[in-house]
């Protein structure tokens, strides 16, 4: 009954950790495409092809349902995958919709027309590819009207986090927040549109100020998955073992991931 979790690197471990806390008896198979990270600087076709290959690998592990914990893959590849590639007996879900449902105070499956919501000015922090896709704005427009979104491509932040350089990552976050606030001085809400960014949530919050509500994905995705599996238990796959796989160097990724989550994580070759 395993569920697959995919990310281009180790950022999706924040989502895995939240899901494991919410659903402790659910086997989780994680695949990081570290050999091709970061995805945020790749074009849409490249991201699509890499993501499809990773999802097929997770299907082979008995994961009929795969979460794209990578925002870039969710933004640049998910819609195309769902419309043209995913078979009827499988499911691939992204991480944007739970965030937008929380932002717009909608329940899952609420397909009523878009309406005005309390939050009118939203700051989006994401990778360059996620920003370029405009996927967040597209999904938001299905549910809300009159919301102004200012997107900031946060170049360098993922690399700094993956390299364990917290000082550089913090400096880059503050710089990106300052750049956004020059264009949107008073956002009401900020969306951290990358699974690496929860590790910098306190830095984002401090730079944005106390009047800005910061939305981080991991907990929202975990709650959404729990609800989904209650309604659609047929997509619990045949897999029974939790494991961590990488296309990169397992020893190096294991060491980085252990630092990342502050508990021992052991990866094997995908």
* Residues of each annotated binding site for substrate: 7-8, 39-40, 71-72, 195-196
Angle, vertex CA 89, rays to CA 84 and CA 94, nearest 5: 60
User: Which of the 8 DSSP states describes residue 234?
Assistant: G
**Would you call 194 a catalytic residue per the annotation?**
yes
Q: Is the peptide bond before 38 cis (omega within 30 degrees of 0)?
A: yes
- Tell me the C-alpha distance between 218 and 19, whole Å: 8
> 260 to each of 133, 164, 171, 196, 218, how far by Cα in Å?
28, 8, 18, 10, 15
**Would you call 154 a catalytic residue per the annotation?**
no
What are the φ/ψ torsions at residue 116 (nearest 5 degrees)? -70, 145
Give the residue among 216, 226, 211, 217 at the shortest CA–CA distance from 181. Answer: 211
- Tell me the C-alpha distance between 188 and 20, whole Å: 31
Long-range contacts of 156-159 (CB under 8 A, 24+ apart): 157/194, 157/196, 157/197, 157/200, 158/9, 158/11, 158/37, 158/38, 158/40, 158/127, 158/194, 158/196, 159/38
The three state secondary structure string of 6-49 is EECCCCCHHHHHHHHHHCCCCCEEEEECHHHCCCCCCCHHHHHH
- Tell me the C-alpha distance between 28 and 16, whole Å: 8
- Which residues have a catalytic role annotated? 70, 194
């Amino acid at each position: 009954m395993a569920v697959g979790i995919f990310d281009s690197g180790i950022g999706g471990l924040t989502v895995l950790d939240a899901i494991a806390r919410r659903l402790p008896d659910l086997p989780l198979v994680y695949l990081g495409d570290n050999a091709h990270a970061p995805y945020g600087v790749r074009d849409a076709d490249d991201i699509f092809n890499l993501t499809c290959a990773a999802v097929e690998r997770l299907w082979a592990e008995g994961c009929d349902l795969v979460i794209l914990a990578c925002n870039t893959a969710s933004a640049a590849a998910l819609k195309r995958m769902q419309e043209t590639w995913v078979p009827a007996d499988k499911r691939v879900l992204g991480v944007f919709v739970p965030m937008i449902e929380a932002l717009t105070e909608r329940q899952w499956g609420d397909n009523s027309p878009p309406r005005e919501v309390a939050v009118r000015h939203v700051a989006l922090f994401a990778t360059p590819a996620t920003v370029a896709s405009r996927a967040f704005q597209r999904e938001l427009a299905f549910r809300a009207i009159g919301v102004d979104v200012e997107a900031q491509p946060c170049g360098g932040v993922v690399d700094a986090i993956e390299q364990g350089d917290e000082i550089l990552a913090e400096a880059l976050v503050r710089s990106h927040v300052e750049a956004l606030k020059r264009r949107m001085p008073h956002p009401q809400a900020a969306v951290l549109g990358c699974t690496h960014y929860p590790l910098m949530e306190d830095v984002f919050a401090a730079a944005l100020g106390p009047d800005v509500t910061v939305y981080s994905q991991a907990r929202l995705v975990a709650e959404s998955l729990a609800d989904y599996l209650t309604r659609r238990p047929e997509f619990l796959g045949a897999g029974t073992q939790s494991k961590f796989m990488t296309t990169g160097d397992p020893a190096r990724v294991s060491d980085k991931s252990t630092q990342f989550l502050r508990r021992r994580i052991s990866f094997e070759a995908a």
